[in-house]
Amino acid sequence: MFKDWLQKGKFKNRKGHELAFCKICQCELLAHKSVLKKNLKTEKHVELMRVSVNQQNLPQFFENKSGLVNNIKRAEIKLVGFLATNNLPFTLMDTLCPLLKDVAPDSEILKGIATKRTKATIIMKLTTRKHFKLILSEKLSTPGSFFSLVLDETTDRSTTKQSALTVTFYNEDEKGVKTHFLDIIEIPSGTADSLYMCIQNCLKNHSIPLENFVGFSSDTTNVMVGKSHAVFSLLKDKNPATVCVKCSCHSIHLAAFKACLKLPISVEDL
């Protein structure tokens, strides 16, 4: 009943109870049978399960397909990629596809497209995202493919702490230095140890060797770049070749703040 969509969660809730993770809904649940059964019957879960049953990874997407079906799948992926590239909401698919069919009613490819917000989300999560993350991981894991890591921590509206990681590296294919999003991970706390383990686990999960990690950038908080027991100091202990470049925006802000302290407080002192 549960094995196809459920896995053990990484964290516990505030009361110390184990959490389970729904791979379909991409959310954590209390690991109680009644809660899991209730989630199984929710409208969101049922719809996502229905859509994901026929989803394949990107290479399989094009295997053994007829010309028309292949072109339809290709068009759907390109439309989803268009939304992601231009930072557009997936809800746009609810009106975009009918509009395209109306503009070109004689197109057999457009007639076959049946992608709305739910399917577009599934295509991005289960095919396109995994495909490009795999390509990025392979590039960063190549011996001599050095990269820098940019780390920032945030809290979403449900008070769940998250850590976003991006990488900067020289891309041989594009012949230039590029910055790519690597992952965003939920963390139990915003401590240096927690963030350090987040980086370690992220690189391990993507099979990226720490030896290729040579640079670190973040804001200027003590947790990130403090002199003792900060994220950077822990990373440097593991890899002494790592260098730190603090965020220029935060540095400018601190400089401006210190400069403003020298200004007179009252108008009479001007």
pLDDT tops 80 at residue 101: yes
pLDDT tops 70 at residue 3: no
The H or E element spanning position 192 is helix 192-205
Distance of alpha carbon 124 from alpha carbon 55, whole angstroms: 11
SS3 at position 188: coil
Domains of the chain: residue spans and CATH:
6-41 (no CATH), 75-136 (no CATH), 145-258 (3.30.420)
Q: How many residues does the chain have?
A: 270
* Rg of the chain on CA atoms, in Å: 23
Q: Tens digits of per-residue pLDDT, 5-57?
A: 677 777 666 667 777 888 777 777 777 777 777 877 788 777 777 766 555 55
pLDDT tops 60 at residue 62: no
Q: Which residue has the higher pLDDT, 74 or 59?
A: 74
Say which range, 142-151, 152-161, 197-206, has the weakest mean pLDDT: 152-161
pLDDT tops 70 at residue 249: yes
Q: Tens digits of per-residue pLDDT, 210-239?
A: 888 888 888 888 888 887 788 888 888 888
122 contacts 51 by C-beta, under 8 angstroms: yes
206 contacts 236 by C-beta, under 8 angstroms: no
As a whole number, mean pLDDT of residues 265-270 equals: 64
pLDDT tops 70 at residue 58: no
pLDDT tops 50 at residue 143: yes
Average pLDDT, the chain: 81
Query: What's residue 53's pLDDT?
Result: 58
From the number of C-beta atoms within 10 Å of its C-beta (0-12, 13-18, 19+), residue 225 rates as buried
Distance of alpha carbon 270 from alpha carbon 10, whole angstroms: 57
